[in-house]
Amino acid sequence: MALFLIGLLPGFIPGRAAAGELVWPLKYRIDLSNGFGEFREGRFHAGLDLRTGGRTGRRVVSPVDGYVWRVKMAYDGYGKGLYVKGDDGYVYVLAHLSRFVPAIERPVKLAQLAARRY
């Protein structure tokens, strides 16, 4: 994975950037709560945790043009996360999301119900 972008946020919409550039996924003041490579709980942190000012439900944009490559929902770890396969070939992870947009949330929930697992 090229980059992990983490925050308590709701889903994503495509970002816009010049070729080869990343878009910051949040449209407000940049505030990191944990940086890449910090040592914690016996491991190195493999991402950036972004503060949301104590608010959930803030909009997230994809840092690159690409497509949703994987959707993951778990009760621990990343919780709700989107893996975006960028046109640059890298995979970007947006995790700890509070919810997905309905077009993503609904099929994931239906698949979980059918499989009888979260």
Write down the pLDDT at residue 83: 95
Q: Residue 109: which of 71, 82, 78, 77 has the closest Cα?
A: 71
The string of pLDDT tens digits covering residues 91-100 is 999 999 999 9
CB 105 within 8 A of CB 87: no
- Whether residue 109 has pLDDT greater than 50: yes
Percent of the chain with pLDDT over 70: 83
- Whether residue 5 has pLDDT greater than 50: no
89 vs 114: CA distance, rounded Å: 32
Helix (H) or strand (E) holding 38: none
